[in-house]
Amino acid sequence: MRRRVVVTGLGGICGLGNDVTTIWHEMRAGRSAIGPISNTSLHDIKIKTGCEIKAFPEHDIERKQLVSMDRFSLLAVIAAREAVKHSGLSISDNNTYRIGTTVGVGVCGWEAIEENYRAILLEGKNRAGIFTVPKVMPSAAAGQVSMNLGLRGPVFGVTSACSSSNHAIASAVDQIRLGRADAMLAGGTDAPMVWGILKGWEALRVLSPDTCRPFSANRQGLVLGEGAGMAVLESFEHASARGATILGEIIGVGLSADASDIVAPTVEGPENAMRACLADAGLTPEDVDYLNAHGTGTKANDQIETAAIKRVFGQHAYALSVSSTKSMHAHCLGASGALEMIACVMAIREAIVPPTANFVEPDPECDLDVTPNTARERKLNVALSNAFAFGGTNAVLAFKGV
């Protein structure tokens, strides 16, 4: 019999707030944290809109660890510590080898990369910083989380661009289902608000100059943000034995690839991932109440995702509540799916669908109920979270209330 995987703790940090309570409060209120980029060192940036973390919360991470961390790893550690505290999970020599972590990341340690380019090319220094390699490696966030919390079970990084969070969570689910761990810290992190990354995204011509308006006819593109989200996942038996409060259950995972184009999505890839998720969860399309869409705010992506949803759900697509919380926390790349996991779990728990903010006018090609601007009360039993990425890597998660 397959082990059930439940969520017992959540942690998060992004432009909306420095903890899950604040992030969910702002999502529920439909408040967008997108605005002008305040970092004055980002010169020569044409698109000056983003979603930054304005101030870090208090933490007691030792300087010895801080000097070896890039920003994306620090965000992951902060979110992971909150998730563990929220879950009440006690980590000791007795259970440390049964607890691990998987952390998704899209662009890894670019803050450290740029610091070294500046030092060597502009300031004339003859060598890079001693911690450059451990700072920039994509698995750094997972390693830093494991060291900070003392996790000695399965620990690894996951990278699949904008699907990284969902792939990391799916991998953690597998570790628990297979019996390799009793508990996993899982989620994603990214800190792309650096000059080189922003210039690269500018070149793609998909960034919005004002804000993110998913599914709205006048949308102009996506907005980049930074953040991290983490969850404590446990087998149902492990959580029950220690008397944990169970926030929700991950009942299905669906993965697929477009195998088509490095940047242009297909309808079939997302469709197959959603179908696979429903099959893994033992659900019919009619069982799903809410779908947290990938919803980037680009014309092509929103229309293709809408078409894929219609193929999978048929007439039930029009009964679904759909929304894109990227309209509020922006596209945090490797962290987006983890922040959207928070939205799904909390939406089910509080019977509230978070809205798609900044919505102005409907697009006839995106004609589903996208919950424009205002949250809606609705009894929710099952929610799906979509994540689709460059390279055609698709990952969909199914959450259920308990």
List, by residue number, the catalytic residues: 162, 294, 331
Helix %, strand %, coil % for the chain, to 5? Answer: 40, 25, 40
* The 227-235 sheet, strands edge to edge: 155-158, 99-105, 183-190, 227-235, 5-14, 248-257, 393-400, 382-389, 290-292, 321-323
Coil, strand or helix at 72: helix
Nearest 5°: phi and psi at 115? -60, -40
What is the C-alpha to C-alpha distance for residues 3 and 5, in angstroms, rounded to an integer?
6
Distances (CA, A) of 271 to 97, 252, 276, 288, 356: 38, 15, 9, 15, 22
Q: How far apart are the C-alpha atoms of 175 and 182, rounded to whole Å? A: 8
Residues 6 or more apart whose CB falls under 8 angstroms from that of 12 comprise 19, 20, 23, 79, 82, 227, 228, 229, 230, 338, 339, 342
The residue count of the chain comes to 402
- Give 170's Cβ-side CA count (13 Å radius): 27
Give the residues across from 228 on adjacent strands: 13, 189
Q: Where in 76-140 does DSSP place strands (E)?
A: 99-105
For residue 20, give both structure tokens. 């899950």
Tokens standing for 72? 């994306």
Sign of CA dihedral 142, 146, 149, 152: positive
